[in-house]
Amino acid sequence: MNSFIPCPCCGSQVFSECGAYEICPVCHWEDDPIQLSDPDYAGGANAISLNAARNEWIKMVSEREGKE
């Protein structure tokens, strides 16, 4: 049985291990352990912070659901 770890940005169960710099196929977040431990840090594997990416993801999903 495969168990996957959720993406810290979008929550999709896609990562095989935490902080291994895998890229989420759903939201394209790169799983950076530094940004996971400091979600306000912008830089490293991702140009924006994890908190900013989460907010952008929520906004995008909300807008998409509003159009359906």
**pLDDT tens track for 23-62:** 999 999 999 999 999 999 999 999 999 999 999 999 999 9
Confidence of residue 66 (pLDDT cuts 50, 70, 90): confident
Which tokens in the block code for residue 41?
Answer: 């840090």
Stated pTM of the model = 0.88
SS3 54: helix
> What is the rounded average pLDDT of the residues 9-16?
97
Whole-angstrom distance, CA of residue 50 vs CA of residue 37: 10
Whole-angstrom distance, CA of residue 19 vs CA of residue 33: 4
* Nearest partner of 28 among 48, 42, 3, judged by Cα: 48
Q: What DSSP designation does 50 have?
A: H
